[in-house]
Amino acid sequence: MYKSLIRPFLFKFDPEEVHHFTFSFLKNFGFLAKLFLPKPIEDKRLEREVFGLKFKNPVGLAAGFDKDAKLFSELSDLGFGFIEIGTLTPRPQPGNDKKRLFRLKEDSAIINRMGFNNGGVDEAVERLKKNKNVLIGGNIGKNKVTPNEEAVNDYKICFEKLFPYVDYFVVNVSSPNTPNLRELQEKEPLTKLLGELQKLNFEKPKPKPILLKIAPDLTDEQLLDIIDIVKETQIAGVIATNTTLSRENLISENKSETGGLSGKPLTKRSTEVIRFLSDKSGKAFPIIGVGGIHTAQDAIEKLEAGASLVQLYTGFIYEGPELINEINQAILEKESI
Ligand SMILES: Cc1cc2nc3c(=O)[nH]c(=O)nc-3n(C[C@H](O)[C@H](O)[C@H](O)COP(=O)(O)O)c2cc1C
């Protein structure tokens, strides 16, 4: 239904316009989507307990789709086991100039250089107060105008404000679209950033899981550093991976646009990163696997490589909400073998 009817229509328009249109549609007519789409699979065997949280199924929505926490309830109704909001920054910011989102149809991919456009953490908090029972991850970042030396404060502000309203946190230092942000992935600044957040966290009566989201473009040496940092700062886990700067083997017209590449061209590399982290750490911490999941098999491969949960973004745009059920069905079949 989605691929044969809805996608061909949506793909005729500008991707960012379609994003806003889909948002308003789901917000106002989400009940229609429920009528036409298959019912989400609910099954006890899909439940997972990871970093102390109970997930109704292991398939989540990745950060960047519902940046401002406007649609988490409707998206959860589509079957996602958890929704990651953000990246949020302390103050609202417009992001980069448009056009900044590009479909690479022949590659089943997207290039984006959105630049953390968001309405700021305060507005999101007001919306999250209305959350009834959706499991929410809060993905946090820094404002573009904040220099890296002061970045810790931005993360701390978002952490404190979101703390009562999210179930886990994601420290995003891996977006390629905020100048110099990825420098915060280096050992010294990253240890400091995570250490300071953990300090705040451990002062709470009930600390919450903090995860680190990493780029797929890190070298093996940098990945080994990440393992050390996770152990040293005792954060709860890693999300692997964000978008890539690589442009290997692309054929689409838009392939030379600046920004982060997501979708099918990322599938293999993000699975490699998951496997590397899992093997080299001796499965020391949970990993959320994300990057180029377009089929149930892609998700299974990430789970087999060591991920405890998976997330979708580009695959959700290309394959539609049916992909959630397909993955959960495949997991059930795999477990009953
Ligand atoms: C348009 C767009 C915006 C994104 N925004 C964010 C973001 O704000 N924060 C973040 O951590 N990741 C962001 N991402 C990255 C995704 O969460 C995901 O890590 C990446 O796209 C790889 O998964 P995929 O191949 O399934 O899309 C964004 C991705 C896209 C396509």
- Give pLDDT tens digits for 266-313: 999 999 999 999 999 999 999 999 999 999 999 999 999 999 999 999
pLDDT bracket for residue 1 (50, 70, 90): confident
Question: What pLDDT score does 335 carry?
Answer: 78
What percent of the chain has a predicted confidence (pLDDT) above 70? 99
Across 224-247, average pLDDT: 98
Tell me the mean pLDDT in the region 247-267.
Answer: 98
pLDDT value of position 33: 82
Q: Which atom of ligand 1 lies closest to the CA of 312? A: 26
Average pLDDT, integer, range 162-179: 97
Residue 10 has a pLDDT of 93
**pLDDT beyond 60 at 337:** no
- The ligand 1 atom nearest the CA atom of 19: 1
CA–CA separation, 210 vs 226, rounded Å? 14
The lowest-confidence range among 26-30, 64-68, 90-94 is 26-30
Q: Structurally, how many domains does the chain consist of?
A: 1
Cα of 114 vs centre of ligand 1, distance in Å, is 10
| Integer Cα distance of 133 and 136 in angstroms | 9
Of all protein residues, the one whose alpha carbon is nearest to atom 24 of ligand 1 is: 291
Active-site residue 175, yes or no? yes
pLDDT of 37 reads: 86
Look-up of token digits 């230092």? 173
CB-count burial class (<10 Å; 0-12, 13-18, 19+) for 41: middle
pLDDT digits (tens, 9 = 90+) for 32-48: 888 888 899 999 999 99
Pocket of ligand 1 (CB under 6 A): 62-64, 67, 86-87, 101, 110, 112, 114, 116, 139, 172, 175, 213, 242-243, 262-263, 266, 290-293, 312-315
139 is in an annotated binding site: yes
Residue 82 pLDDT more than 70?
A: yes
Burial 11-26 (b: 16+ CB within 10 A, else e): eeeebbebeeebbeeb
> Domain containing 188: what range?
2-336
Tell me the average pLDDT across 195-210: 98
Average pLDDT over residues 68-96: 97
Nearest C-alpha neighbor of 159 from the set 119, 117, 213, 196: 196
User: The domain spanning residue 83 has which CATH number?
Assistant: 3.20.20.70
Residue 176 burial by Cβ neighbours in a 10 Å radius (0-12, 13-18, 19+): buried
- pLDDT single digits (tens) 121-159: 999 999 999 999 999 999 999 999 999 999 999 999 999
* pLDDT surpassing 90 at residue 31: no
